[in-house]
Amino acid sequence: MEIHKYEKVWLAGALLLIVGLIATVSYGAVGAGIEMVGDEGGQVDPASLDEHPKFGEPGTYQTGEDEYDVYVIAQQFSFEPGTSEPIRVPADSTVTLHVTSADVIHGFEVVGTNANTMAVPGQVATITIEVDEPGEYGLLCNEYCGSAHHAMEGSLEVVPQSEWNESMVVN
What does the binding site for other proteins look like in residue numbers (CB under 8 A)? 2, 4-6, 9-10, 13, 17, 20-21, 24-25, 28, 32-37, 96, 110, 112-115, 126-131, 137
Nearer residue to other proteins within complex by CB, 44 or 158: 158
Nearer residue to other proteins within complex by CB, 39 or 50: 39
DSSP 3-state percent helix, strand, coil across the chain (nearest 5): 25, 35, 40
From CA 41, how far away is CA 72, in angstroms rounded?
A: 13
Rounded least distance, CB 33 to other proteins, Å? 5
From CA 6, how far away is CA 19, in angstroms rounded?
A: 20
Q: What is the DSSP letter of 47?
A: G
Rounded least distance, CB 115 to other proteins, Å? 4
Rounded least distance, CB 26 to other proteins, Å? 12
Helices (H), 31-122: none
Residues forming beta bridges with residue 39, ordered by sequence position: none
Rounded least distance, CB 156 to other proteins, Å? 9
